[in-house]
Amino acid sequence: MRHPDDGLLEEQLDGELAEDAARDLEAHLAACPACRERLEAARALRAEADDLVAALGEPAPRPAADDLPDSLRRAPRRGMPWRAVAWAASVVLAVGVGYAGGTMGRRQGEATAPRVGTPTEPPSVAATEPPAAGSDREPRAGAVARPQADAAEVRRPDLAAEPGADAANRFAKAAPVGPPASPSVAQKAAEREEQAGFALESRPAVSLDPAIRALGGSIRLLDGLSATRVEVTWLRMPSGDSAAVVELTYADPAGHPIVLRQSRTTPLAEALGAADALGRRRDAAQAIAPAAEAPNRRAADLPDGEVSWVDAAGFRLVLRADADADSLAKLRARVR
């Protein structure tokens, strides 16, 4: 055998050499003092390097760190297209569905509906915490909805109740949870959960206040129209922070839906396309679309056109309507 190169010596030291190669090496070393020295030098270097790396230590342990967290238990079925949903889908904590009829969105009548810059409460961290985190709201005049006190307990479906390994392996549809205020709301929520494949917590809301609080004290509205529906969805970031995505549904004069979705941007949320992913997830769930992020695959009843931007206040906005680019641009100009 010729003199072994450094890589071969390293393999020997790491115990990765195949038997016959190891035998050849032994034979060579027996006859070659220079290589014996090299081996010893390499041994010392290896030991020191490994010591140094070991000196880095461990991160401080966290309790139950090795159990699959709930956020990954409800991972989406294989084949769901967008990668962002891998975390986003798992983390919806609250959905509020409101049917407002005439009372919604009439800004004169909506005494507590602030515009940008005139918050009813000072924006604070508490305002953006997920409702289940215990930030029970004080009663507000005119607000019909209250966070359901037991929402926190039913927040996560008890997958652990399922037998054995199935619990973790089940990218399963969660049972509908949440104490909705009316049967129709419950039904809607259940349908949505079935389609979306994960647990939603329904919290009925018939005013903009929860949405405004969720966004930190301000909200962007479409001028000239009244919203017929408000949805607040909480997404938990991998870092543990939560972000609220508010979806307002309007109807244009012809009755076609216009949807305005907004959320405060963070670099992580942007990178993962949080608000967009939320929309796409719903679209795909309703369209039962297995394909990759294909914007042209939508259910027939969803708006076709979409425009997305970040406003000066740092909110990611997504506007969806059955309209061409020009009309979308005009609509966008009316978002304040």
Partner 1 sequence: MTFDLASAYRSYHGSLVRMLWRRTGDRDRAEDLAHEAFARAAASPPVNPRPWLFAVALNLVREEGRRGAIRSRRLQLYRAEGPQAVPGPDEGVEREERVARVRRALLHLADRDREILLLKAEGFSYDEIAETLGLARGAVGTTLSRARKKLVEAYHRQEGGRDAAS
CB 193 within 8 A of CB 199: yes
Of 141 and 161, CB closest to partner 1: 161
Least Å from the CB of residue 305 to partner 1: 28
How many residues lie near partner 1 (CB under 8 A)? Answer: 53
Of 31 and 56, CB closest to partner 1: 56
* Binding of partner 1 by 85 (CB under 8 A): yes
* Binding of partner 1 by 252 (CB under 8 A): no
* Binding of partner 1 by 266 (CB under 8 A): no
CB 334 within 8 A of CB 219: no
Structure tokens of 112?
Answer: 């507590």
* Binding of partner 1 by 238 (CB under 8 A): yes
* Binding of partner 1 by 275 (CB under 8 A): no
Contact code string over 164-193 relative to partner 1, x by CB under 8 A: -x-xxx-x----------------------
- Backbone CA torsion sign across 242, 106, 143, 321: negative
Choose which of 108, 118, 239, 296 interacts with partner 1 (CB under 8 A): 239
**94: exposed, middle or buried (C-beta count within 10 Å: 0-12, 13-18, 19+)?**
buried
Of 168 and 186, CB closest to partner 1: 168
Alpha-carbon gap, residue 203 to 146, rounded angstroms: 8
Contacts within 8 Å (CB) and 24+ apart, 306-313? 307/331, 307/332, 308/275, 308/276, 310/265, 310/270, 311/220, 311/335, 313/116, 313/218
Alpha-carbon gap, residue 307 to 125, rounded angstroms: 29
Contact code string over 8-27 relative to partner 1, x by CB under 8 A: xxxx--x-x-----------
Choose which of 2, 18, 20, 58 interacts with partner 1 (CB under 8 A): 58
Alpha-carbon gap, residue 223 to 334, rounded angstroms: 5
Among the residue ranges 181-189, 217-225, 237-245, 254-262, the one whose residues contact partner 1 (CB under 8 A)? 237-245
* Binding of partner 1 by 158 (CB under 8 A): no
Let me know the angle formed at the C-alpha of 270 by 267 and 274, rounded to the nearest 5 degrees. Answer: 130
Q: What is the DSSP letter of 285?
A: H
Least Å from the CB of residue 179 to partner 1: 29
Contact code string over 94-133 relative to partner 1, x by CB under 8 A: ----------------------------------------
Residues 6+ apart with CB under 8 A from 257: 249, 250, 251, 301, 302, 303, 320, 321, 322
φ, ψ for residue 232 (rounded to 5)? -115, 125
* Binding footprint of partner 1 on the chain (CB under 8 A): 5-11, 14, 16, 42, 45-46, 48-61, 65-69, 71-73, 75-76, 78, 80, 83, 85-87, 90, 165, 167-169, 171, 237-239, 267-268
